[in-house]
Every structure is written in C-alpha cells, then in structure tokens.
Structure 1
Amino acid sequence: MTTHDQSEVLARVARGLLYSESEAAFQSGLRRSDLIFEYNHTPPGEAARRRDLLERILGSVGERTVLLPPFHAGFGSNVHLGDDFFGNVNLTFVDDVEIRIGHGVMIAPGVTLTTTGHPVHPDLRVDFGRYSEPVVVEDKVWIGSNAVVLPGVRVGHGSVIGAGSVVTRDIPPMTVAVGVPCRPVREITEEDLKERQEIR
C-alpha cells in the first residue's frame, strides 16, 4: 500500500467511515501485544517493571497510575491515561483510535471501552469491515463493574456510570447514569458529600 493509500485510509478512519482489516494492516506495528502479555505476567512485587512496561505500551500515562492485570488492548499505543488513574482487573481497551482518560478516574472490574463498531448489513462486514470513533472519559469519572462504553462517547467530568450499563451516547458532567442503554438519572450535588458520613 502506498503512502497516499495509507493517508486515504487514515482520513476515512478519522471521519468515522468504514474501513477493512486489510486496509488497516499497515498500522500493525503500533500494536503492543507482546508488551501487554509481559505486563499481565509480571509479579505483583515488581512495581518498577510494571511502570516501565506501561510507559512503553500506552500512548501516554500519568503519575500515580494503577492498572491491575490482566488488561487487554488491541493496540495499547492509542490509550492515554491521566494522573491518579485506577483501573481494576479485566479492563479492555478496543483502541483502534484514541481512548483518552482524564485525571482521577476510577474504573471497576470487567469494563470495556471500545472505539470500534461494525455495520449492521453483513455484506459490509467482509474483511472485518468496521468504523472507529474516539472515546473520552473526563476527569474524576467512576465507571462501575462490567459497563461498556461504545464508540464516539464522551463521559463528562465527575460522572458515575452504574454497573452493567451500556453507554451509547455522551453523558453530561456531574451526573449518575445507569442502564441499557445508559441514561442520566440524576445530578450529583452537594448533598452527595454527606453520603456515608457520620452525623454529629
């Protein structure tokens, strides 16, 4: 594939249009599969080694980042994590394009963040036809266990995504959102600061 052809494919990807596995094969060098395997098999006591691997795997990684193994990523290099990030076990990044996660984000076990979907008509899924749109998780978000965030979604600052939710559209800042499909159910307010606090 020529450089011109590659540029044309990348332009389609950037616009959220369909592309195939064969067309995207030139990006295979950006995959960090071997490093992800190594990270997932690194003993818990080797924190410095884990950090070094994470810096080599991800597009960028903030300070005081915890990502418990195993985690999974199509590329790894398209994932960007902010400071004070906590990702629990079995976090999956389908990162054919960028996944950007802000500061102070907490993600529970079994969550999937996917930038990629497939067309409904089977004739368009030949050669694994697909489309990709970036995912953004803003600062101080908490995502509950087994939630799925779909392509093109932005989760707003401070929001909470309930366990088992399927997030198909943007979630406003400072809201609790739950369900399939995920919908905001209420705002997060000053009253929530009293939660599980002793009353004196």
Structure 2
Amino acid sequence: MNVTGDTGQNMVIGEFAEGSAAQVVFRGKGGVLEIGPNVIFRSGTINFRGDGQRVVLGGDNVLLGEIHLSGNSSQVEIGRGTKMNSAVWMNLGEANDRVTIGQDCLFANVRFRTSDSHPIYDDTNGERINPSKPITVGNKVWIAEDVLILKGAIIEDGSAIGARSLVAGRIPSKCIAVGSPAKVVRQNIRWEEKFPR
C-alpha cells in the first residue's frame, strides 16, 4: 500500500493483504481508511479529496478500481466478502454523500455516481433540481459488466443486475433486473457465484 498526503491529519486502520497494490491519497484532513482482515486491493486508488471522509472495508474482500470521495464527510462502506472481478469506479461528488454495499456481493466493471457533478437549477425560482443522493446495495447482490448505478439507487438483497443496465431507482430483493432504466424481468431468484461441479 502506498499512502500519500498528510498522514498526521488522516488515519489508516489495518493493512491490505499480500498481493495488494493500492494507492491511498489524502488531500484533506480527518480522513479514515478502515481495512478489515484479509482485504486484497489488487490495484487502483482510494482518493480522499476532502475533509472528514471515511472508507470502511469489512474484510475478506477482493477489490479493484477507483474510489473518489470529493465532498466533505462522504463515506463508502463495503461489507465482508464482497468481490470485484474487474475494475469498479465510484465518485462521491458532494458533501455527506454515501455508498453502502452489503456482504458477499459480486461486481464486474460497475460505475457508481452519487451526484451529477454539476448542479442544475430551476431558472424561475433558483431551486436546485438535481441534489445528490446516497446509493445502497444490499447483501449478496450480483452486478454484471458495464452497469451504471446512479444517485438514489437501492438494490435489495439477493438481486442480479444484467450487463449494461442503468439503475436509478429501487430494485426489490431476489429478482433479475435489466435494461436502461433497469426493470425487473424475473422474481424469486437465487444466484450462486460458481456453477456446481
């Protein structure tokens, strides 16, 4: 693990497992990276760009990709046993943004965006019409290749999201959802990580 920035005003709790090649960059203060046991971060960057940010990795994870926390007090939590087969990209663009991922999930080349990165206002009254929103992924969720998860998305336990889908709303538990926007095409499913031998 290569850590750059002010380590006196930020904190790393724990260590990545052997075989990791993560870059951790602190640009603000009060950042915390909490690494559970047996976490492999094969390659990529965790980029703390603001103040009071936190990343919690539950343990027994295999991770790969980019996590960018831009807004102050933003937070990422990844539950125990979650794995990434190809690079995942997260952008938490605004203050207090949050991405919460449950246990035993499986991802491939997924992109997470908690905000649009640029504010849009109603020109008649000045009200902002595109605030950021948290993203929540439950336990044992499978997200296939090239899926985009947008602000406010909620994917409940046990579901599977098909390749190249876009998730912007709520996906109920134990279902398959596909498309742009993703829609439920099958309910009462159970998926396994490997085929039986």
TM-score class normalised by the smaller sequence: 0.5 to 0.7
Q: Which has the higher strand share?
A: 2
Whole-Å separation in 2 of the counterparts to 1:148 and 1:112: 5
Gaps of 5+ in 2: 7-16, 26-32, 36-45, 47-53
Q: Report the number of matched residues.
A: 152
SS of alignment partner, residue 71 of structure 1: strand
Residue 66 of structure 2 corresponds to: 71
Amino acid at match of 1:94: N
Gaps of 5+ in 1: 1-31, 36-43
Residue 115 of structure 1 corresponds to: 114
In the TM superposition, residue 66 of structure 1 has moved relative to its aligned partner by 1.1
Task: Give the TM-score taking structure 1 as reference length.
Answer: 0.62
Amino acid at match of 1:67: L
Matched, 1:133 2:129: no
- Alpha carbons of structure 1 residues 46 and 189: separation in structure 2 relative to 1, 3 Å: closer
SS of alignment partner, residue 131 of structure 1: coil
Whole-Å separation in 1 of the counterparts to 2:24 and 2:91: 22
Task: Give the TM-score taking structure 2 as reference length.
Answer: 0.62
Residue 145 of structure 2 corresponds to: 145
In the TM superposition, residue 75 of structure 1 has moved relative to its aligned partner by 3.9
When the two chains are superposed, the root-mean-square deviation of aligned CA atoms in Å is 3.7
Residue 173 of structure 1 corresponds to: 173
Are the counterparts in 2 of residues 33 and 75 from structure 1 also a CA contact under 8 Å?
Answer: no
The C-alpha deviation readout for 1:160-198, integer Å capped at 9, x for no partner, is: 0001000121000000000011000011346x67x9557
Amino acid at match of 2:171: I
Residue 16 of structure 1 corresponds to: none
Residue 84 of structure 2 corresponds to: 87
Q: Which has the higher helix share?
A: 1
The C-alpha deviation readout for 1:94-147, integer Å capped at 9, x for no partner, is: 2230000000011112x11111135666969xxxx9521000000000111110
Whole-Å separation in 1 of the counterparts to 2:185 and 2:135: 22
Amino acid at match of 1:71: E
Whole-Å separation in 1 of the counterparts to 2:132 and 2:58: 25
**Which is greater in Rg?**
1
- 1:1-200 to 2 correspondences below 5 Å: 46-47=19-20, 50=22, 55=34, 57=46, 58-68=54-64, 70-75=65-70, 78-95=75-92, 96=94, 97-109=97-109, 111-117=110-116, 118=118, 131-189=131-189, 197=196
Whole-Å separation in 1 of the counterparts to 2:63 and 2:24: 13
